[in-house]
Structure formats: structure tokens, C-alpha cells
Amino acid sequence: MKAKLGVSALVLLFLGGLWMIAAPFAVGYQPRGAAYVDATINDLWLGGILAGVSFVALVVYAADALRELANRGKHVADA
């Protein structure tokens, strides 16, 4: 149960980071063709960091889960 909650939280953080990256353009506070305003720069950096860190955490979690499944398979084959 705790693992599902953790993975769900990481997925939500990843999606939130992607939204922060897209928000200046989707909402429209970044004028088309103009230099990036400070709010856009802030959203791009923080959204990128949030999405990147949560994606790396998801990959690490998935690798750990696969390693655990592989170890279980070895124990079953040895028996």
C-alpha cells in the first residue's frame, strides 16, 4: 500500500512539473515572440527540476522493483 502511495505521489509530482513547464504558454502570460518574462523563467526552471527529480525517482523505484522480482525468481528456480 505504501509503495502505491509513493508511486502515485511521484507521478503527480512529475505531472505537476510538466504543467509548470507548459503553463506560461497554455495560460498565456508569456507573450508570443517576446523575451521570456521572469515568471516564465521561474516556471521553466522549477517545473524542469520537479519533473526531472520525480522522473529519476520513478526510474530508481522501477529498477529496484525489477531487481526484487528477479531475486524472487532466482529463489523460486533454486528451490
Q: Give the pLDDT confidence of 29-38 residue by residue, as tens digits.
A: 888 889 999 9
The predicted model scores a pTM of 0.81
Which three cell numbers, joined as nine digits, stand for 75? 529463489
Ramachandran area for residue 28 (φ above 0: left; ψ -120 to 50: alpha; else beta): left
Which three cell numbers, joined as nine digits, stand for 52? 526531472
Burial class (CB within 10 angstroms; exposed 0-12, middle 13-18, buried 19+) of 61: middle
Give the pLDDT score at 12.
96
**How many other CB atoms sit within 10 Å of the CB of residue 42?**
13
Distance from the first to the final alpha carbon of the chain: 29
Tell me how far apart the alpha carbons of residues 29 and 27 are, in angstroms, rounded to a whole number. Answer: 6
Give the pLDDT score at 4.
85
pLDDT tens digits, 43-71 = 999 999 999 999 999 999 999 988 988 88
